Structure 1
């Protein structure tokens, strides 16, 4: 009786709320239709766009139609017998029948089947497609959906979960849970949205039942999985017109948008972790963004808009710039945050980069004003630099939910056309991600990436037969991105020697398992670094794999300094540090120079190069050369090799496996530390973008000095920037250079412009107290500082206490003024230290330890007129003017003055920039520019004579450059150009082809006329012009378009032949006999071919 009363009470409560619940479900019925139409737009571009736009036409032809063509091949049509569809599958290669309980292949085939059905549904619903609203296709799609649910029962709500000997009409969620709950629903729901208007209410009702079984709610999923599930629930709610599902989806996004301190999700430093331990910004983080962006766009302005009272969504908006933007370079997404996705042959870095850019295009419309402007500026830069329009025209495949959709093109074109949007330009910054042990260093012309792991972050992930052989991708692997956009794509991962990755210190294990060391944590906690000014940084890791080692990277302006020490092993295997492993041209023709000598090109031969001071590897394209400087002359082992390998070494998962062998060439160089080394060390400097001559010059006059490379500390100084950086490895009081600490720490100090900047971090993230840092510099007032820093003393040295508890490796910063100096006022002269003969260079004059207010200066500079020529001088300080210049043999006198009170020189700084030209000598030499006389005066007319100062410049002799071949080729190309006629007849050249050839000739002339051009530049210009000339010659018209019967004219005879074969397509068995009548080569003989010939006949 008590139970009955309780049940009646429950029913009473439920029914008391029922009117409100039902009202909520039904009150927004019209709004659901609006949301469904918005979702339809996100997939197809809607129903109102210019089908004749060239980019849209190209997209529809090359993507929508081409993919539908391929997908339709092999499609098994319905086999209706007694009202029942008796076919066994939709495509014969996707039977969707499990052989074992954990049959991931069969479960993935369900996902792939719906992927193909979505492809066909997209073509059916895309205006301008040849399949648009084609009745036969519509029938095929709907009957396929019916079979999958009803007769085939491959995806329905059957509750059966158990053995393989199941009832024939049961759906068993065998294999990968992802396919049932995420992979299939993502494609399935989009297909329902696309075909919604063609389905009956009963079909829609039935087809949504599997979603209520497999993904009724978000559940306990985290990170990207949570967002996927939320998107699925939201899309289900829109189709079913259930407000409760949209409320649930919005609530579930709270966790996804909330920053975390451990586990899956976004971190305050911009890191993104999935599966607890793995950096995945470009993997699951990409999936999250690609899912959230359209969801935000669809729900924007609706009752269920993804906005929250505490503005939680703003944290996600911030991630656009903190998490995603730093990892996109030249349109590619850096591999070091893609984890096992790098093992997918069809999903290499450029594809992922474009997927993210397109998602950002979608999301830009919902960002608040300030961030929207910043986002559009960033996107405009990305789109402008997508020279091949791949953002517009990415082949549909692999993951259809990530494909380029028409809205991406439509919105991208609006961004380009909007003159009020300024392009961002190249991103210049240093960005560390301590929560996932990744670093990005972005400079003009290149980006440097660093991948490490710790006790917080694991090596790499192997899941679903993906991610094999990624053995050393977190062992300090370094990435260098430059003008060669295919450096890490174009089958890099499919062909590279996985045992030798750049930057790593490793042991050469014989035949390691394909999952060797996967999921491994680093027993050492010292993994991190610090940065300063948002431009420069230092990072390091204490690594333990086959060897123990301490590794650091110092990232400055145009160089990266790499140090290693304490390299010790008892594993009994060769221990190596890999300086470089770069994919070169397929023919391996890239010149490699060591100490000024071209090394032999014997492919596969390993050579030990002794006493190496510098090395240069020519890139595959202009702007991709790399120089290497070795501060300690060293033994360097290396080789060029051509490798043939299969992606199956990395990935055997059904969805992504690619068995086709690939062949690529590589140049690899490494330090061989031998077997069982004890405290071995290394040092080298990467010089991105430098030529052979520049690399050699740098090696003779390096901009950096290594202060220490020991078991206690790694430290480097760059005087030109006033920078000192050090990693302190031990919890002891230790001093290196002018910095002392009492704990493990990473420290940078920058002294310039009368200021001292100090950055400190706890790289271990385990210090629960503070770090005491003492710098040998007397300082004055604090300009700015983080709250965690306390100044203990400012003289005679600066001593600060840095509270690092709970800071998670974050950089803490303080800036102070230098104390007033009692040193004698002095002149300084600094600038270029190396110059090629015939080229210009500059020096800057300034004052240090200024102790007066100066209004006038009289300066005399002397130099050897046989080596250098003075060109000009200009002020380097606002308010300081040059009032007189007198040049004579070997010297120049300059008078400078500050006009009016408030403009006087009263602080240290640069004052005059002097420009010189090195004479065109034919031998290397040194030239000294000296300030031989310097008199300065204050406002009282009191003069002070300063001590002289001198600056040396190394002049590299002019190399004799042979331009004979280039000049002869220019004459030949110009003659060919001038004698050619453009038109449409045989023997003529296509309209516009002469313009392209002339442009190539002009580029070659520019190099030929450039007296400073190197032999490498001349050779490249010759090769480029030869290629352009060959392309031009091969474009000559050898037959008349439309001349089907090859009688030299276009007449009704040709029209008749095309008319005879009208309706034939490449799907017909006799296509080889009639395809000559396919005038426009689109795979079908149709009205377009007839119209083309008719127009030619009428024009003629």
Structure 2
């Protein structure tokens, strides 16, 4: 079955990957005769399929789609006007049209290399593609003085990917001068690199972007017959596989996968579900392309990529749906969720063919297929070979369906300020932010109203529902951005970037603000926050998470006089929040809820959407409320433990999907929006709330809910803590320095602690530093002396007067939990 994260990291440390990369770069690992031909052949087989794969009936729809697409663009070639290759795509000023043009040439070329396809081997079409490629280079691509307008990505990655693959598909007939001309131009357009090559110190050449660029350069090297280029491209890509150590950054890069399964791109954006997904795909494709060459390093690379699947992706996929909390600006796109997972499944299918421990991967693929409410259509796979492998896997009765996740699991992705808590009937996902992790991502007219997506927004996925009906683009379209589930926000109206500045960014070149400048990134696209406290602890299947709200970096910089007067930044509300993740409930505490600017403040306990015709009911009782979608047969209960009782109501909302993304179709959607929350009036004193979210609860469950099993031990801006009698669990978040008392625990804050006590007095404890800055966290357990049975490295346990002291060396732990098992002396 699956390899554990800890085993993987000890088997394949970052140093091993860097050593392999260094050996290749130094020429100690050299190309062998036939490597370049093998690379090209592997690429063609990956993209176009093989005679064996394409003879399979399961692949027929894919082949038909390839042919249909090619014929569509051949017709568009016939009807093109002046200044365009394809009808409707004028060239010369639009980088997106240039990218579409290169893509369509690739799609035509692909059809001519598909074994068994009607256009396979059509030399006339191939010649036509090559002539059009030459025309495109001579008129709209080769002249550097006219190129590189618009988005850098299209010039350095997008067009290069299409053209490189097209030349590989036509490698037997493509003129050498055309290949060399295009590669020279692609090198010249690599302007964020160094001397026409990858620059590992460039902020553009990291993570998924680096994988894309180097994958192209690997193939270009094979086309040119350039061993030196090939060696450097492979070595550069291998650096992507190295686990990011935040205390020993390579080239200053924070993008990539972390030890806890987190993935970052753009330096600080939680991005597993978009760029991380792209990196997974590219990594597996590289494994396939290098197969059988002297550069194949499957023993080193494959276990690392498998760890991405086990620890990075699996917790974030629930019933075949990829969660919203790791998609950045992609949450505003219309094709996310189930479609995301289809891409991931193709990568896992191919990876399983190279893994020495493939059983868990294969079972997981079957689990996704069985648990998903959407039909996984392999026609969307890139490779016909992948489709045939998928068909074989699904037809193999000896492979059982099994999740890579335990049925009950709590996962703290502290390196990207995310939490996932899973139980058989639900999954709860939480998005936080800090001085390390961005509050949100807006870019290129995508995710126009993102302001509170990292301010404790949560997503409760209920088993058996179609998750596109509960979340996805329609959630952001119809739910107010100031009323996202779980957030505390001031009462004000904010304006989008296009509304504020009339463009898709803040355009002040003379002040360093251009479309992809560092200033734009820092203050417009994905600002971090001012708060240091964001994190939590995990003890087995239970979790605690805490957050102190902070302002965006843009507001702090504006207050310090570091931004122009016409730059608009918004001040956030203040609150200290905790989420205690249990079995039947998620307990949420909020304290110090106020606004320093005197505005009214709303704390939203939950927001959910339902179809316009769904039957939605709200049932209220003494200190509880139940929301039920009778049509979809799901429900959520809320038990109010302390503070002002919230108001819950549903309203019909109709809006265009274009309100969240400028390029979305102007499609109107109507949803019933349920919102539950409390609004404190302007100038009110700081408020506090305590409530439990109870997934799948019945009215009987809520009416019989025993508050005595759950005790609020503290709920102040300094400390928040609960005790669950039935679980024998005490959970504590402390936010300020000094000793904080909760039951028998004395916690030296700031810290996050979970302690579970058995009936015989044994204690299992987890301790974490949510600030990531402390060297040591100390917890004292009063009562009988306890002795250590088992503990993580870095945990010291010793007796003190009246109890037991646990000292945890949290230096350079980056928020991870340390655990110990203590036994009471008899």
What is the TM-score with the length of structure 1 in the denominator?
0.63
Q: Does 1:492 align with 2:475?
A: yes
Q: Does 1:616 align with 2:596?
A: no
How far, CA to CA, are the matches of 2:186 and 2:126 in structure 1? Answer: 23
How far, CA to CA, are the matches of 2:237 and 2:783 in structure 1? Answer: 50
Q: Does 1:560 align with 2:586?
A: yes
Which structure 2 residues correspond to residues 202-241 of structure 1 after superposition, within 5 A? 202-215=177-190, 216-219=196-199, 220=202, 221-241=205-225
Partner of 2:610: 584
Q: Does 1:295 align with 2:286?
A: yes
**C-alpha contact 2:47 2:382 (8 A) present in aligned 1:** no
Q: Does 1:792 align with 2:803?
A: no
How far, CA to CA, are the matches of 1:431 and 1:809 in structure 2? Answer: 13
How far, CA to CA, are the matches of 1:649 and 1:261 in structure 2? Answer: 39
Are the structure 2 counterparts of residues 64 and 642 from structure 1 closer, same or farther at C-alpha, using a change threshold of 3 Å? farther
Which structure 2 residues correspond to residues 997-1008 of structure 1 after superposition, within 5 A? none
Alpha-carbon displacement from aligned partner over 1:59-99 (angstroms, at most 9, x marks no partner): 444x43454455455334589xxxxxxx421123221222x
2:308 alignment partner, one of 292, 299, 319: 319
Partner of 2:512: none
How far, CA to CA, are the matches of 2:605 and 2:116 in structure 1? Answer: 52
Are the structure 2 counterparts of residues 201 and 805 from structure 1 closer, same or farther at C-alpha, using a change threshold of 3 Å? closer
Query: Mean alpha-carbon deviation: is it higher for 773-782 or for 504-513?
Result: 773-782
Alpha-carbon displacement from aligned partner over 1:657-710 (angstroms, at most 9, x marks no partner): 433333333212211122233220112211112233333333x56753322222
Q: Does 1:341 align with 2:330?
A: yes
**C-alpha contact 2:785 2:804 (8 A) present in aligned 1:** yes
Are the structure 2 counterparts of residues 66 and 332 from structure 1 closer, same or farther at C-alpha, using a change threshold of 3 Å? farther
What is the TM-score with the length of structure 2 in the denominator?
0.83
**C-alpha contact 2:616 2:627 (8 A) present in aligned 1:** no
2:85 alignment partner, one of 83, 87, 90: 90
Q: Does 1:646 align with 2:656?
A: yes
Larger RCO (CA within 8 A; separation ≥ 6): 2
Alpha-carbon displacement from aligned partner over 1:1079-1100 (angstroms, at most 9, x marks no partner): xxxxxxxxxxxxxxxxxxxxxx
Q: CA deviation at 1:259?
A: 2.2
How far, CA to CA, are the matches of 1:231 and 1:117 in structure 2? Answer: 19
Are the structure 2 counterparts of residues 620 and 37 from structure 1 closer, same or farther at C-alpha, using a change threshold of 3 Å? farther
Q: CA deviation at 1:314?
A: 4.2
Give 3-state SS (helix, strand or coil) of 1:810's partner.
Answer: coil
Q: CA deviation at 1:470?
A: 0.7
Q: Does 1:778 align with 2:784?
A: yes
Q: CA deviation at 1:391?
A: 4.1
Alpha-carbon displacement from aligned partner over 1:126-154 (angstroms, at most 9, x marks no partner): 3455555556654543333232123xx22
Give 3-state SS (helix, strand or coil) of 1:815's partner.
Answer: strand
Partner of 2:242: 258
**C-alpha contact 1:528 1:763 (8 A) present in aligned 2:** yes
2:436 alignment partner, one of 456, 459, 476: 456
Which structure 2 residues correspond to residues 635-784 of structure 1 after superposition, within 5 A? 635-652=645-662, 656-698=663-705, 703-752=709-758, 754=760, 755-768=762-775, 770-784=776-790
1:531 alignment partner, one of 538, 541, 556: 538
Alpha-carbon displacement from aligned partner over 1:452-485 (angstroms, at most 9, x marks no partner): 0011112122233333211110010001122222
How far, CA to CA, are the matches of 2:385 and 2:426 in structure 1? Answer: 31
How far, CA to CA, are the matches of 1:324 and 1:443 in structure 2? Answer: 17
Give 3-state SS (helix, strand or coil) of 1:468's partner.
Answer: coil
Q: Does 1:113 align with 2:126?
A: no
Partner of 1:74: 76
2:136 alignment partner, one of 136, 142, 148: 148
**C-alpha contact 1:612 1:634 (8 A) present in aligned 2:** no
How far, CA to CA, are the matches of 1:702 and 1:146 in structure 2? Answer: 77
How far, CA to CA, are the matches of 1:410 and 1:520 in structure 2? Answer: 44
2:528 alignment partner, one of 518, 521, 526: 521
Cα root mean square deviation, aligned: 2.8
How far, CA to CA, are the matches of 1:134 and 1:663 in structure 2? Answer: 49
Alpha-carbon displacement from aligned partner over 1:428-465 (angstroms, at most 9, x marks no partner): 31111111111111111211111000111121222333
**C-alpha contact 1:455 1:523 (8 A) present in aligned 2:** yes
How far, CA to CA, are the matches of 1:684 and 1:265 in structure 2? Answer: 36
1:376 alignment partner, one of 348, 353, 362: 362
**C-alpha contact 1:582 1:668 (8 A) present in aligned 2:** yes
How far, CA to CA, are the matches of 1:47 and 1:702 in structure 2? Answer: 68
Q: Does 1:507 align with 2:490?
A: yes
Are the structure 2 counterparts of residues 46 and 665 from structure 1 closer, same or farther at C-alpha, using a change threshold of 3 Å? farther
Q: CA deviation at 1:123?
A: 3.3
How far, CA to CA, are the matches of 1:574 and 1:72 in structure 2? Answer: 60
Are the structure 2 counterparts of residues 804 and 119 from structure 1 closer, same or farther at C-alpha, using a change threshold of 3 Å? same
How far, CA to CA, are the matches of 1:259 and 1:25 in structure 2? Answer: 22
Q: CA deviation at 1:570?
A: 3.2
Q: Does 1:40 align with 2:44?
A: yes
Alpha-carbon displacement from aligned partner over 1:627-678 (angstroms, at most 9, x marks no partner): 22212374322332333323333333xxx54333333332122111222332
Q: Does 1:282 align with 2:270?
A: no
Q: CA deviation at 1:750?
A: 0.8
How far, CA to CA, are the matches of 2:62 and 2:375 in structure 1? Answer: 10
Give 3-state SS (helix, strand or coil) of 1:763's partner.
Answer: coil
Partner of 2:150: 175
Partner of 2:342: 354
- Could you say which structure has the larger radius of gyration? 1
How far, CA to CA, are the matches of 1:457 and 1:788 in structure 2? Answer: 26
Q: CA deviation at 1:408?
A: 2.5
Alpha-carbon displacement from aligned partner over 1:22-45 (angstroms, at most 9, x marks no partner): x99997453322221211122122
1:472 alignment partner, one of 442, 452, 457: 452
Alpha-carbon displacement from aligned partner over 1:231-280 (angstroms, at most 9, x marks no partner): 11111122223222221122112421222234222222221111211111
How far, CA to CA, are the matches of 2:535 and 2:31 in structure 1? Answer: 54
1:410 alignment partner, one of 362, 383, 388: 388
How far, CA to CA, are the matches of 1:50 and 1:406 in structure 2? Answer: 7
* Structure 2: unaligned runs, 5 residues or longer: 1-24, 191-195, 247-253, 501-522, 552-571
Give 3-state SS (helix, strand or coil) of 1:572's partner.
Answer: coil
Which structure 2 residues correspond to residues 853-1002 of structure 1 after superposition, within 5 A? none
Alpha-carbon displacement from aligned partner over 1:269-324 (angstroms, at most 9, x marks no partner): 2211112111111121111111111111221331111458xx47644442222222
* Structure 1: unaligned runs, 5 residues or longer: 1-20, 80-86, 99-105, 162-170, 395-402, 596-610, 821-1100
